[in-house]
Amino acid sequence: MILGRVIGQVWAARRDARLQRAKLLVVKPHAIYEPAFGTRHLVATDDVDAGVGDDVIVCLGAPARASAGGNDMPVDAAVLGVVDRFELNLEAMRAAGAGPGIKRALTVPAGAGATRK
Amino acid sequence: MIRGTVVGQVWATRKARGLDGQTLLLVAACDAEGRATGRLVVASDTLDARAGEDVTVAFGSGARNVLRAGPENRDLLCDAAIAAIVEGAG
């Protein structure tokens, strides 16, 4: 799973029949995951009625299909949770030699109720 | 699987029912030399890993097997799970 922020929504009148009831969100990963094709975003189905600006947990692959309704769903990413708090242990990050990517990840979601210790 | 270091935890109140009871840790992924790559993975934890501990993270069906082994676990909402806590590596 990865963390990201909802930046929009996609509407489509013509869509796969199995996706008729799916809400499709555009999610920008928190600079800590590179989606395929260098697109810097993902389109994910929504299980939890997330809105623009929410920080969310996105699940990839088969579990995303399972949550969207079954293994035959044409889906590879699903929003499974709205983050209300996360904690980063800076000492552990320093010890791990956390690079600039993680520092970016640290700063981006700070407005979302992140706590640091 | 990959190696990584536990650096934090994430909480969500509004979540899919399948996430109930899962502890979600933030793991900084490591490269082959054990240095952080700058990527974070949200991984489910059943081994009580603590911040600062080195772990291995399994993905895909391997991750689901950590939570519940067997072929009938495709309903589990988990794509990454901590499979081992590393004590040493050579």
What is the ipTM, given to two decimal places?
A: 0.85
What domains sit in chain B, N to C, each tagged with a CATH number? 2-85 (2.40.50.220)
Cβ–Cβ below 8 Å for A57 and B74: no
Instruction: Name the average pLDDT for chain B.
Output: 91
CA distances, A88 to each of A20, A30, A33, A112, B38 (Å): 38, 14, 17, 13, 14
Confidence label for B23 from pLDDT (cuts 50, 70 and 90): very high
pLDDT at A34 > cutoff 70:
no
- In DSSP notation, A64-78 reads HHHHHTSTT-S-SEE
Question: 10 Å Cβ neighbour count for B65?
Answer: 17
Closest chain A CA to residue B26? A88
DSSP 8-class letter at A105: H
Cβ–Cβ below 8 Å for A85 and B11: yes
Q: Given its phi and psi angles, is residue A38 left (phi above 0), alpha (psi -120 to 50 degrees) or beta? A: left
Q: Give the CATH number of domain A2-83.
A: 2.40.50.220
Closest chain A CA to residue B16? A80
Higher pLDDT, A85 or B68: B68
pLDDT in tens, B36-77: 777 889 999 999 999 999 999 999 999 999 999 988 898 999
Confidence label for A108 from pLDDT (cuts 50, 70 and 90): very low
Where are the domains positioned within chain A? 2-83
| pLDDT number for residue A92 | 82
B28, B4 Cβ separation under 8 angstroms: yes
Record the pTM: 0.84
